[in-house]
């Protein structure tokens, strides 16, 4: 296991990482690329052309009237003001700018991460790289957590569960909602339990709630693989693939959480650092990782005959 | 198991109510950490027991008023809609 501490900064302070909204577009590592397709030249031309065009466009008498021009300008300024106020208030409850960070993924990242979730044994460097104190977007760093895979995995799990129930003639449309809400409730309870245990053990970590949500959502990938294998090839295939995915998720979670929860020395050199606190944290990591296979089995065994 | 969001909300309300109606002295004296002998260590490892006590104390302080509102609302709703 090779941690390049010189190349990537390792944070020892427990500050919560700031995923500021100024991250997108400010310093070259944008969250989202500009794929709108129109360069600045064409936008300038468009601005010049729209001036004389608005006078002669739809209702000539309506738009050339200065009073209605004033009314239009006032209305548009009101609309922008209202939109700004709503954005600001909404941002207070649901941190939308922080959420954007978790969805800044691209196809290559998703492919590599899915491969990592099913086969994490060859991956060597599990550290999240930082860029001047803010974490790098998931698109540039394979180890960063994202919310795209968990969200898509959850939806796919609900659909695959409906498919599995349909092949056994147990399907009805309400069951989709029941499956979805039951899986969601288990997810919420798991995240709350992990938060509670992190609080009780007083771990100084920079894991946020959304990070925990992302990590808990990674097990849906394994569940989907298991259920699909069980549907196509029968019950033994379900057990085999579920066993494989459980082991993979266990290793994945352990290696990821070890860096975040344990102290620096323990994470850098291995597992054998003495101290009651480190032992407790190791137990905590292990139990969080061990809870994943339990949930994976619990949420899928009733789908396979 | 038909777990729904509604049952989760019910569980949350019931658990918070349970913490709120707890009689600290009698209950915690049995466990051996009463109010008068509170642990006020400032070391960087307060221990699990102190953390649990802190959590219970803070939940009671914070959730007292919202719980009144939520309980009243749920009583009214359950009376009206069964």
In Å, how far is A17's CA from the nearest CA of chain B?
21
Question: Smallest Cα–Cα separation from A161: which of A178, A185, A140?
Answer: A178
Tell me which of A30 and A257 has the higher pLDDT: A257
Q: Report whether pLDDT(A30) > 70.
A: no
Over range A144-159, report the average pLDDT: 93
pLDDT in tens, A44-59: 454 454 444 444 455 5
In Å, how far is B13's CA from the nearest CA of chain A?
14
Phi, psi of A171 (to 5 degrees): -90, 140
Over range A130-157, report the average pLDDT: 86
Identify the H or E element spanning A135. strand A134-135
Q: Report whether pLDDT(A253) > 70.
A: yes
Tell me the chain A residues in contact with residue B44 when contact means C-beta distances shorter than 8 Å: 202
Q: What percent of chain A has pLDDT over 90?
A: 30
Tell me the chain B residues in contact with residue A185 when contact means C-beta distances shorter than 8 Å: 3-5, 7-8
| Predicted pLDDT at A126 | 82
Tell me the chain B residues in contact with residue A178 when contact means C-beta distances shorter than 8 Å: 2, 4
| Predicted pLDDT at A133 | 75
Tell me the chain B residues in contact with residue A200 when contact means C-beta distances shorter than 8 Å: 48, 51-52, 55
Tokens of A256: 């990821």
Dist CA B14 CA B8 (whole Å): 10
| Predicted pLDDT at A284 | 87
Tell me the chain A residues in contact with residue B4 when contact means C-beta distances shorter than 8 Å: 178, 181-182, 185
* Contact (Cβ atoms closer than 8 angstroms) between residue A109 and residue A138: yes
Q: Which of A21-30, A113-122, A272-281 has the highest mean pLDDT?
A: A113-122
Q: pLDDT tier at A227 (50, 70, 90 boundaries)? A: very high
pLDDT in tens, A191-206: 999 999 888 887 777 7
Instruction: Give one word for A59, left, alpha or beta, with left for phi > 0 and alpha for psi -120 to 50.
Output: beta
* Contact (Cβ atoms closer than 8 angstroms) between residue A277 and residue A253: no
* Contact (Cβ atoms closer than 8 angstroms) between residue A143 and residue A157: no
Identify the H or E element spanning A130. strand A130-131
Q: pLDDT tier at A143 (50, 70, 90 boundaries)? A: confident
Q: pLDDT tier at A186 (50, 70, 90 boundaries)? A: very high
Q: Report whether pLDDT(A14) > 70.
A: no
Residue count (chain B): 82
Angle between helical axes of A173-200 and B48-81 (0-180°, round to 10): 150
What would you report as the CA-atom Rg of chain B, rounded to the nearest whole angstrom?
Answer: 17
DSSP A128: P
* A188 shares contact with chain B (CB less than 8 Å): yes
Of B2, B51, B55, which has the smallest distance from its Cβ to A182's Cβ? B2
Measured between CA atoms, the residue of chain B closest to residue A201 is B48
Start-to-end CA distance of chain B, whole Å, equals 23
| Predicted pLDDT at A151 | 94
Give the range among A38-42, A62-66, A128-132, A178-182 with minimum mean pLDDT. Answer: A38-42
ipTM above 0.95, yes or no: no
Dist CA B15 CA B63 (whole Å): 12
Contact across the interface for A185 and B52, Cβ inside 8 Å? no
Measured between CA atoms, the residue of chain B closest to residue A189 is B8
Q: What percent of chain A has pLDDT over 70?
A: 74
Over range A47-72, report the average pLDDT: 62
Nearest 5°: the CA angle A195, A196, A201 is: 100
Of B3, B8, B52, which has the smallest distance from its Cβ to A200's Cβ? B52
What is the overall mean pLDDT for chain A?
78
Dist CA A204 CA A263 (whole Å): 9
* Contact (Cβ atoms closer than 8 angstroms) between residue A206 and residue A10: no
* B2 shares contact with chain A (CB less than 8 Å): yes
DSSP A159: H
Over range A131-151, report the average pLDDT: 84
Q: Report whether pLDDT(A9) > 50.
A: no
Tell me which of A223 and A41 has the higher pLDDT: A223
Q: Which of residues 39-78 of B touch A (CB under 8 A)?
A: 44-46, 48, 51-52, 55
Start-to-end CA distance of chain A, whole Å, equals 42
Q: Residues of chain B whose pLDDT is less than 70?
A: 1-2, 32-46
Tell me which of A60 and A159 has the higher pLDDT: A159
* A195 shares contact with chain B (CB less than 8 Å): no
């Amino acid at each position: 296991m090779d941690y390049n501490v010189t190349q990537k900064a390792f944070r020892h302070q427990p500050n919560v990482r700031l995923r500021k909204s100024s991250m997108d577009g400010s310093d070259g590592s944008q969250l989202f690329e500009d794929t709108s397709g129109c360069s600045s030249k064409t936008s300038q031309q468009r601005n010049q052309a729209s001036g004389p065009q608005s006078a002669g466009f739809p209702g000539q008498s309506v738009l050339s009237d200065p009073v209605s021009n004033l009314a239009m300008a006032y209305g548009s300024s009101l609309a922008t003001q209202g939109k700004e106020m709503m954005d600001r208030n909404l941002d207070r409850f649901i941190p939308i700018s922080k959420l954007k960070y978790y969805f800044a993924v691209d196809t290559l990242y998703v492919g590599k991460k899915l491969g990592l979730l099913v086969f994490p044994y060859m991956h060597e460097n599990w550290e999240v790289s930082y860029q001047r104190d803010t974490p790098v977007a998931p698109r540039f760093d394979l180890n960063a957590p994202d919310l795209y895979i968990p969200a898509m995995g959850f939806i796919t799990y609900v659909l695959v569960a409906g498919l599995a129930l349909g092949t056994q003639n147990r399907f009805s449309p309400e069951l989709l909602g029941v499956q979805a809400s039951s899986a969601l409730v288990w997810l919420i309870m798991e995240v709350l339990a992990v938060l509670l245990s992190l609080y009780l053990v007083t771990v100084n970590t920079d894991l946020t709630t959304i990070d925990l949500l992302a990590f808990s959502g990674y097990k849906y990938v394994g569940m989907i693989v298991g259920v699909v294998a069980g549907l196509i090839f029968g019950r033994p295939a379900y057990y085999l693939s579920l066993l494989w995915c459980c082991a993979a998720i266990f290793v994945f979670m352990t290696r990821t959480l070890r860096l975040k929860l344990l102290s620096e020395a323990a994470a850098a050199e291995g597992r054998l650092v003495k101290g009651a606190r480190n032992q407790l944290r190791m137990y905590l990591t292990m139990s969080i990782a061990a809870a994943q296979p339990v949930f994976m089995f619990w949420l899928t065994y009733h789908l396979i005959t | 198991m038909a777990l729904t969001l509604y049952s989760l909300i019910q569980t949350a309300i019931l658990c918070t109510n349970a913490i709120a109606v707890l009689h600290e002295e009698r209950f915690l004296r049995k466990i051996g950490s009463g109010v008068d002998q509170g642990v006020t260590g400032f070391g960087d490892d307060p221990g699990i027991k102190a953390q649990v006590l802190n959590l219970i104390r803070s939940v009671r302080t914070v959730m007292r008023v919202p719980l009144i509102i939520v309980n009243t609302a749920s009583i009214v709703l359950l009376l009206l809609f069964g």
